[in-house]
Amino acid sequence: MSDRRHLPTYTKALGRAAGVAATLAFVATAPALALDEVIVRTSGNNESLTETVRNASLSVSSLQGDTSSTQDVVAAARADYGRILGALYGQGYYAGVISIKVDGREAADIPPFSPPARVSRIVIDVQQGEQFKFSRAEVAPLAKGTELPNGFAKGEIARSGVISSAANAGIRGWRNQGHAKAELKDQSVRADNRAATLDTQIELAPGPKLTFGALTLDNRGKVRDKRVLQIAGYPEGTVYSPDEVNEVTKRLRRTGTFSTANLTEAEEIGPNDTLPMLLTVDDQLPRRFGFGAEISSSEGLSLTSYWKHRNLFGGAETLDVRGEIANIGGLEVATGGVDYFLGARLTRPAIYGPDTNGNVFASIEQNDDPGYFERKAVAGVSATRIFSDDLEGELGLGFRYSQYDDDFGEREFTHFVLPVKLEWDKRNSELEPTRDFYLRAEAEPFVGVGNESSSGAQLFSDLRGYLGFGEKKNFVLAGRLQLGSVVGPDLSETPPDYLFFSGGAGTVRGHTYQSLQIELPGDISTGGKSFVGVSLEARSYVTDSIGLVGFYDVGFIGPESYITEDYVYHSGIGVGVRYKSPIGPLRVDLGYPLEGDDENGDIKIYIGIGQAF
């Protein structure tokens, strides 16, 4: 292997000082720092390169930071030779000359044990020379389908980082095809100073194609070994893949039971071109609890809390108990009254293969809504299938009993239900997304038990999209589309909680909670069998922590299973403020009813954590 590069010429040699750099920490503290300025200059006043040098310089950091002694300042200046050299290489300059003067004296000439009593000025002069380009840029052999960095090609600027990226891309390509021990075999980097070119050749050693070999388990927790292996789904005997390695650890981590889940390759190849692996796991603390709160001027205060118990029976099971009290102190005409919910869900991972979880759930609740009063109990089982990192589905079978008091009178319903849900989440953040989309689609067929309980199905979907602008995505356009439908029974035969209402924080801000209803003859008000909700937001951060939001919401409901000419609608507009906090953006929205009647005042205030959607 040859590596003939033209190194920058320092004004003074650094070699005699290299051996003592590590001893600086033991030297007695020098007099106090009085650094006034650091000047950085490059040939031709190259602004971009000057900024690169400033970012690499410890001397600049000394000026901006809290360096306590001249000894530290001199040490930083001496270290800058190597740091600036690396920065020049990173931009394709391989024939540079670097001078760093401390109050007119070359930093390399200052004895590290005898720094000056005071330092006031550091001048960094860089004569970068010509920017080198690749005369040859080769990596061989390459696995089929390997993509090298765009900048690694003849005629492109010869940045050192691109060379490393090209070598890594070549190795990664072989590993993706099962050659787990692919490595760099040789490299040749030759600089032609007169032509300002770099001849680069990288040779790889792919090694044999391997399969996953024997697995050794290092279990430091209390989950049974058998269950750890079932959840991990280790693919012994299949062709090695880095994606499969990641998938094994992801399966373990998403249970929430394990604090550590690492799969490590053996140093040596095993018999018959196999690769033995070591799986190390350890447990999280078994119990966890949390709480949340949201407040609205019309709907009052909502409090939520949860309690989790991990590894309940030694098989990585999770018991999740949740409770909620909503509409505390809300306007009676706006909310009806206080709502209560208590539910529990027991999840056992890997009941049918490593990507299918089993669930048992039960809940009781009482809801005093503007359109009806409800008491309900639900229990059932379900299976959750995890198709990928961002796509999962759930299929369940349950039983529900409910009592209602509304404009149709007092009624009871008993149903078997078959809830189905698909969730596709491509967002980059749950609390503050700036790109991609989220989709939740639900269907809940229900079969009545007894003469008073009709059969049918409720369908619902929630689609959200986000488009961020700027390097930091400080300006975001967000949109939401909600669609709902009930097929089967008439309005009078449908449980009210299957029907659709509009108004409030989750649908149309500025209007009272569930204020939009269908009016029927006989002074009967009820929810609709169809629903369309649209929300649009423009979000912009005006500082690093303060953001402003403008929004428009509109909601439609109809008496039939799809929106017809008998629909009713309302809309609202408003503004909001966001404050970035460690737990997510704090949200305050002011909503105003734009279209549709609202008898509970004009301005509604909504406060919560996270964006509205």
Which tens digit of pLDDT belongs to each residue from 295-319? 877 678 889 999 999 999 999 999 9
> Using an 8 Å Cβ cutoff, are 507 and 533 in contact?
yes
pLDDT of amino acid 25:
31
pLDDT of amino acid 45:
86
Q: Which of 241, 261, 283 is the last residue of a domain?
A: 283
| Distance in angstroms between the alpha carbons of the first and the last residue of the chain | 57
pLDDT of amino acid 64:
75
pLDDT of amino acid 11:
37
pLDDT of amino acid 22:
31
| pLDDT class of 332 with cuts at 50, 70, 90 | low
Instruction: Answer whether residue 1 shows pLDDT above 70.
Output: no
pLDDT of amino acid 55:
94
Q: DSSP string spanning 500-563?
A: B-B-STTS-TTS-TT-B-EEETTTEEE-BSEEEEEEEEEEEESSSSEEEEEEEEEEEEESSSS-
| pLDDT class of 600 with cuts at 50, 70, 90 | low
CATH number of the domain that 430 lies in? 2.40.160.50
Residues 112 and 139 occupy one common structural domain: no
Instruction: Answer whether residue 26 shows pLDDT above 60.
Output: no
Residues 145 and 7 occupy one common structural domain: no
pLDDT of amino acid 447:
96
Instruction: Answer whether residue 450 shows pLDDT above 70.
Output: yes
Residues 418 and 505 occupy one common structural domain: yes
CATH number of the domain that 266 lies in? 3.10.20.310
CATH number of the domain that 173 lies in? 3.10.20
Please state the domain count of the chain: 4
Q: DSSP string spanning 9-32?
A: --SS--HHHHTTGGGGGGSPP-SB
pLDDT of amino acid 370:
82
Instruction: Answer whether residue 550 shows pLDDT above 60.
Output: yes
pLDDT of amino acid 3:
38
> Using an 8 Å Cβ cutoff, are 382 and 347 in contact?
no
Q: DSSP string spanning 142-189?
A: --TT----TT-STTSB--HHHHHHHHHHHHHHHHHTT-TT-EEEEEEE
Q: Which of 145, 172, 205 is the last residue of a domain?
A: 205
Q: DSSP string spanning 425-461?
A: E--S-SSS--EEEEEEEEEEEEEE-STT---EEEEEE
pLDDT of amino acid 334:
60
**Mean residue pLDDT across the chain:** 90
Residues 179 and 299 occupy one common structural domain: no
Residues 369 and 446 occupy one common structural domain: yes
Q: What is the mean pLDDT of residues 224-237?
A: 97
Q: What angle do CA 112, 113, 117 make, to 5 degrees?
A: 90
Instruction: Answer whether residue 608 shows pLDDT above 50.
Output: yes
The per-residue pLDDT for range 143-202, each reduced to its tens digit, is 999 999 999 999 999 999 999 999 999 999 999 999 999 999 999 999 999 999 999 999
pLDDT of amino acid 583:
84
Q: What is the mean pLDDT of residues 434-446?
A: 97
pLDDT of amino acid 333:
58
pLDDT of amino acid 572:
94
Instruction: Answer whether residue 293 shows pLDDT above 90.
Output: no
Residues 299 and 436 occupy one common structural domain: yes
pLDDT of amino acid 67:
59
Range of the domain at 182: 133-205
Q: What is the mean pLDDT of residues 263-277?
A: 96
Cα distance between residue 314 and residue 221, in whole Å: 10
| pLDDT class of 112 with cuts at 50, 70, 90 | confident
Pairwise pLDDT comparison (411 vs 452), residue with the higher score: 411
Q: Which of 96, 127, 158 is the last residue of a domain?
A: 127
- Per cent of the chain over pLDDT 70 is 92
Instruction: Answer whether residue 599 shows pLDDT above 90.
Output: no
Instruction: Answer whether residue 32 shows pLDDT above 60.
Output: no
Residues 138 and 234 occupy one common structural domain: no
Residues 105 and 221 occupy one common structural domain: no
pLDDT of amino acid 28:
35
Left if phi > 0, otherwise alpha if psi is -120 to 50, otherwise beta: which for 289?
Answer: beta
Residues 90 and 142 occupy one common structural domain: no
Residues 276 and 295 occupy one common structural domain: no
Q: How far is CA 369 from CA 402, 406, 514, in A?
A: 15, 10, 8
- Per cent of the chain over pLDDT 90 is 78
In this prediction the pTM is 0.77
Residues 30 and 137 occupy one common structural domain: no
Instruction: Answer whether residue 562 shows pLDDT above 50.
Output: yes
The per-residue pLDDT for range 45-90, each reduced to its tens digit, is 899 999 999 999 999 988 877 656 888 899 999 999 999 999 999 9
pLDDT of amino acid 113:
81
Helix (H, G, I), strand (E, B) or coil at 247: helix
Residues 114 and 149 occupy one common structural domain: no
